[in-house]
Amino acid sequence: MPGSLPEGEPVPPDGSLPEGTLVDSRPLSFYVHVPFCATRCGYCDFTTYTAEELGGGASRDSYADDAIAEVRLARRVLGSAELPVRTVFLGGGTPTLLPAADLGRILTAIDSEFGLAPGAEVTTEANPDSVDAASLSALREAGFTRVSFGMQSVVPHVLAMLERTHSPGRALAAVDEARSAGFAHVSLDLIYGTPGETADDWRRSVEAAAAADVDHVSAYALVVEDGTRLAARVRRGEVPLPDDDVAAECYEVADEAFGAVGLDWYEVSNWARPGGECRHNMAYWRGDHWWGVGPGAHSHVDGVRWWNVRHPAEYARRLRAGESPGAGREMLDHESRESERVLLGIRLREGLALDDLPGRMPVVNELLAEGLLQPGAAVAGSAVLTLRGRLLADLVVRRLL
Ligand SMILES: C[S@@+](CC[C@H](N)C(=O)[O-])C[C@H]1O[C@@H](n2cnc3c(N)ncnc32)[C@H](O)[C@@H]1O
Ligand code: SF4
């Protein structure tokens, strides 16, 4: 079962925002969380439910209608301001366990309530074995412009340790099917540091992703999340904890292999060809407004952050009663918003403007002298992580804050 939600103040039943929240004409993003998976991978603690875990009161079949009810609630809460939606991201869970027609209906609801901005980026995540050529074509026809596959590895024993259900080659075949279906933007997710993964295993996965016809790759170190089957195996001493030095080596191998084929880093864990950057993630990292639809989804509008109830049955019950599914919220004060801007901004290749770091210049100068930061090449007067700084990004953030 997924972990717990943060604590916060209650969200009013009508979902209204605190007085003074500025719902201006800044572009809005939508995240739609689809909380269903065929099976749960042993390392994952995301809000997602298998058919057996779901219980009564909610079903995959009724999910699209409930999500559409939340899109309509969003329109009521945000009022009549012009809020063109620049990016939509369907994540999970496994969005593609639902029929493409259901996902298309949710997208149409966002378009009819708010209007999609011209050239909007519309992404869905997909498990490689949850799609085929026909479903990818249907998604493209429904208006999706980008698809992100969870590949993780091409090595059988690594996929087995992660309890992934797809074969080593399936993600790469799915990339070709997505291209044939007309997707201009295709991404692959990789994980490194899986117990038992050798340096050679990781190199094979990285090289396979680099050779694939994609314009974006994410690579994340495996996190052993409390409460997962993987954490229990680590606790029992059956498998070792991922090692930090190994993770640093994996990162360098990935950065070099991706760079060699024109996939450049634009955020610490993300690489893209020019124009292939995920605009939706950039909206998070730049602190824009986004509305998170679905069980356990988080939202942010003008420093107000709220999160939905996690169970799909309670989520459905609230929306069917005309109530907000919000479980709690918090108002970020100036200091927290500043910290968040630094925390997220420094992980980007565009870096942070030095003018925006008043009071932090002594530590910035130390980090520059230690070779963890460098002056930004793209934006004058900015500070950007070096390769060593990217390997130690968490430490840099701690020192900056
Ligand atoms: C939550 S999944 C949703 C997409 C899809 N279900 C999949 O697995 O590809 C998004 C990404 O998060 C990664 N992820 C989930 N738990 C993780 C963990 N504990 N450590 C590192 N990456 C993780 C997944 O492997 C996946 O690539
Ligand atoms: S398929 Fe994705 S969301 Fe589902 S359990 Fe595995 S990693 Fe988590």
pLDDT tens digits along 125-161: 999 999 999 999 999 999 999 999 999 999 999 999 9
pLDDT tens digits along 338-370: 888 888 999 999 998 888 777 888 899 999 999
Task: Provide residues with CB under 6 Å of ligand 2.
Answer: 37, 40-41, 44, 46, 48, 92-94, 127, 150
Residue having the nearest C-alpha atom to atom 2 of ligand 2: 93
What is the separation of C-alpha 379 from the centre of its chain, rounded to a whole number of angstroms? Answer: 26
pLDDT tens digits along 196-220: 999 999 999 999 999 999 999 999 9
- Give which of 160, 153, 159, 223 is closest to 188, Cα–Cα: 153
Instruction: Give the per-residue pLDDT at 238.
Output: 96
Instruction: Give the per-residue pLDDT at 381.
Output: 84
Checking if the pLDDT of 20 tops 90, the result is no
For a mutational test of ligand 2's pocket, the pick from 98, 127, 189, i.e. the residue with the most ligand atoms closer than 8 A to its C-beta, is: 127
Residue having the nearest C-alpha atom to atom 3 of ligand 2: 93
Instruction: Give the per-residue pLDDT at 24.
Output: 77
Number of C-beta neighbours around residue 227 at 10 A: 12
Cβ(72)–Cβ(105) under 8 Å?
Answer: no
Q: What is the 3-state secondary structure (H, E, C) of 42-59?
A: CCCCCCCECHHHHCCCCC
- Give which of 116, 104, 93 is closest to 27, Cα–Cα: 116
At 59, which amino acid appears?
S
Mean pLDDT of the chain, nearest integer: 94
Task: Provide residues with CB under 6 Å of ligand 1.
Answer: 43-44, 46, 91-92, 94, 125, 127, 150, 152, 189, 191, 220, 222-223, 225
| Contact partners, residue 376, CB within 8 Å, separation at least 6 | 350, 351, 382, 383, 384
Instruction: Give the per-residue pLDDT at 161.
Output: 97
pTM of the model as a whole: 0.95
Ligand nearest, relative to CA of residue 217: 1
Longest pairwise C-alpha distance within the chain:
59
State the distance from the centre of ligand 2 to the C-alpha of 289, rounded, in angstroms. 26
pLDDT tens digits along 230-266: 999 999 999 998 888 899 999 999 999 999 999 999 9
Residue 289 phi/psi, 5-degree rounding, is: -90, 140
Q: For the residues 320-329, what does the mean pLDDT come to?
A: 97
Instruction: Give the per-residue pLDDT at 5.
Output: 66
Cβ(254)–Cβ(206) under 8 Å?
Answer: yes
